[in-house]
Amino acid sequence: MQIRFFHDSVYSEMATLQKRKSHGQNYWYIVESRRVNGKPRPVMLAYLGRAEDLLARLNNEKAFEVQSCSHGEVFALASAAKELDIVNIINKHIPPGKSGKNPTRDGLSVGASLLLAAIGRSCRPTSKKGWYEWCRETSLEQILSKSFSKLDSQHFWDQMEFVPEAVIDSIEDDFVKKLVKITNVKLDCLFFDTTNFFTYIDSMNDSCDLPQRGHNKQKRFDLRQVGMSLLVSKQEQFPLFHETYKGNKNDSTNFKEVFSKLSKRIKHLTNEMSDITLVFDKGNNSKENFNQIDSVENFHYVAGLIPSHFKDLIANANKNFETMLIEEESIPVFRIKKEIWGVERTCVITVSAQLKQGQIQGIHQHLEKKYKALIKFKNTLESPKRKARYTSEEIEKKVKQIIHGQFIDDILKYQIITLSSGQQSFTYSLDYTAFDFLKENILGRKIHVTNRHDWSNEEICLAYRGQSKVEAVFRNLKNPYHSAIRPQYHWTDQKIKVHFLTCIIGYLLTSYVYSKLKKSINYSHSIHKMMEDLHAIRLTTLIEKKEGAKGLPQTDICLEKIRKDLVAMATALDIQERNFKIKISLS
């Protein structure tokens, strides 16, 4: 017998009871007339059974229990994992155990355990200890027809231990190639950037080398951090390459060390290197890095140069700017071919009003901090109670330390003076002429450099603006609700690297589902909103209990009534009334 219960749902259309005869028995249904392709059609809402079943229900002779769980997001991700063959790809690279077979634990292969961790990470980032607490609130066990009640933190730790660091690149290489083949995603423009993730690993913990203190982009300078390089596609922003590295390594040094792996991955993804352009920002460049790039045949790039390192270029541009229209915005632009680091490169210099305004605001904020520090030091020097005296050299050294900073050195001036008491002190002032020169001739300038000599100014600038795509992926990976790298509770280098791999797999599955929705129903919301929408698609289990009856209770599984705005999503992802099983080899 089937009965549908829908939480907080009321049908607005008129429903009727209808009788249908089958094998000499009369059965009752709740039916509603709806228009299908413009024509009225009866649509069954619920099957009620025979008349005696209805009477027994009205007399409370049967009891029912209803269990409901989140379904849409785990179903979509598990379906994507099956299409991309994630489990088999991982298992292919896992060395055999002592028995000569692939290692398993609790009936799960290593690939299956990493997939489950990845799906959990995408839906609700939590510790491995809290993984099953999340899982039991979803339909994942019903979807994969397996109980996961034994999966604790030790399970995941043991399974992660079987993944050597040396195979991580090969695993990623295989599933990325599978993704590119299935989606036929364009690889004409690829974006590379780096970020870091702070951890709570104790400073005295010497079991790992990756977490180090450095310039944290979330301002957590008090904590150790792990860096990550990332390559994403222009179309769909699929993660195509990642690398974890020490948290104290700067971007330029990391680029130098990772470039060979990066270029190898790009070659594996396409047969025509000349069709691909790598885009990266100015923090990754150096003479050595460009020498590496120049040594690779048919390797094209659009990058940035640091304006303060190329003052002659900026001075030349300031005299020769022309107006160019990019995305309905008129901006000053200057183009020139120039030999840089031994190779002729095309340089396009532009002025960004938005960047300029942000830099001016940043300068004022820094000036306020500098003023406070200077006043405090000046008051210390001129205090009548102070007996110890600073020499002019000591004062000058201290003042230089205080005012040091980008642009500040050029506009904040000081002078050492002698007070009437004979003590040494200083005065300071803002050089408004220098500040005006800075605003008119330096701030807001961007230098784009490329070996795409045939590209127009607009093509070069738009390619560099595409860096926002990889930055958007980083924001998603730092979203605390879905697909987050943090929190991570591992403190050995091998475990940290495997943890990052599972997070990337989770984000790859999420972005793959997102791309399917964009193509099929033109879904325009964010990935975060997509996961929230899918979470709202729920599966209900109706358990019927008969008084004094023997045997297992009769159950019925169905979808709760889907919100009207989610019907198209469910249809596009094949989330149907009777389609909630996915066959993935887990052992």
CB count in 10 Å sphere of residue 100: 6
The count of domains in the chain is 2
CA separation for the pair 459, 244 (Å, rounded): 31
507 domain residue, yes or no: no
The pTM of this model reads 0.81
pLDDT, average across residues 568-584: 86
Percent of the chain with pLDDT strictly greater than 70: 92
Indicate the pairing of strand 277-279 with strand 189-198: parallel
| 201 and 239 fall within a common domain | yes
For the stretch 466-493, pLDDT in tens is 898 999 999 999 888 888 888 788 888 8
| 176 and 284 fall within a common domain | yes
CA separation for the pair 285, 306 (Å, rounded): 9
Percent of the chain with pLDDT strictly greater than 90: 57
pLDDT, average across residues 68-84: 94
Residues pairing with 228 in the sheet: 195, 244
State both tokens at 361: 């605001």
Following DSSP, what letter does each residue of 294-321 receive, concatenated?
A: HTSTT-EEEEEE-GGG-HHHHHHHHHH-
pLDDT value at 2 more than 60:
no
| 255 and 195 fall within a common domain | yes
| 196 and 232 fall within a common domain | yes
| 297 and 205 fall within a common domain | yes
113 domain residue, yes or no: no
Q: Which residue has the tokens 């050299």?
A: 393
377 domain residue, yes or no: yes
86 domain residue, yes or no: no
| Region of residue 444 (phi > 0: left; psi between -120 and 50: alpha; otherwise: beta) | left
| 284 and 383 fall within a common domain | no
pLDDT, average across residues 296-312: 91
Q: What is the largest CA-CA distance in the chain?
A: 117
pLDDT value at 183 more than 60:
yes
- Contacts of 433-442 with CB under 8 Å at 24 or more apart are 434/410, 435/411, 438/407, 438/410, 438/411, 439/356, 439/360, 441/314, 441/315, 441/318, 442/307, 442/308, 442/314, 442/407
Residue 387 CA neighbour count, 13 Å, CB half: 0
pLDDT value at 8 more than 50:
no
222 domain residue, yes or no: yes
CATH of the domain at 458: 3.30.420
* 407 neighbors 438 (Cβ within 8 angstroms): yes
406 domain residue, yes or no: yes
Residue 167 Cα to chain centre, angstroms: 23
pLDDT, average across residues 208-214: 85
| 185 and 273 fall within a common domain | yes
| 365 and 428 fall within a common domain | yes
CA separation for the pair 124, 467 (Å, rounded): 27
Q: Which domain holds residue 364?
A: 355-441
pLDDT, average across residues 15-20: 76
| 269 and 364 fall within a common domain | no
pLDDT, average across residues 307-314: 91
| 294 and 181 fall within a common domain | yes
Indicate the pairing of strand 538-546 with strand 104-105: unpaired
71 domain residue, yes or no: no
Following DSSP, what letter does each residue of 49-89 receive, concatenated?
A: E-HHHHHHHHTT-EEEEEEEEE-HHHHHHHHHHHHHTHHHH
Q: What is residue 376's DSSP assignment?
A: H
Following DSSP, what letter does each residue of 450-462 receive, concatenated?
A: ES-TTS-HHHHHH
pLDDT at 37: 65
485 vs 243, residue with greater confidence: 243
pLDDT, average across residues 447-458: 94
Residue 339 Cα to chain centre, angstroms: 37
| 186 and 256 fall within a common domain | yes
- Residue 503, classed as helix, strand or coil, is helix
269 domain residue, yes or no: yes
pLDDT value at 113 more than 80:
yes
Q: Buried b / exposed e across 390-421, counting CB within 10 Å, b at 16+?
A: beeeebbebbeebbeeebbeebbebeeeeeee
pLDDT, average across residues 508-520: 96
550 vs 431, residue with greater confidence: 431
| 179 and 286 fall within a common domain | yes
pLDDT at 14: 58
- Residue 266, classed as helix, strand or coil, is helix
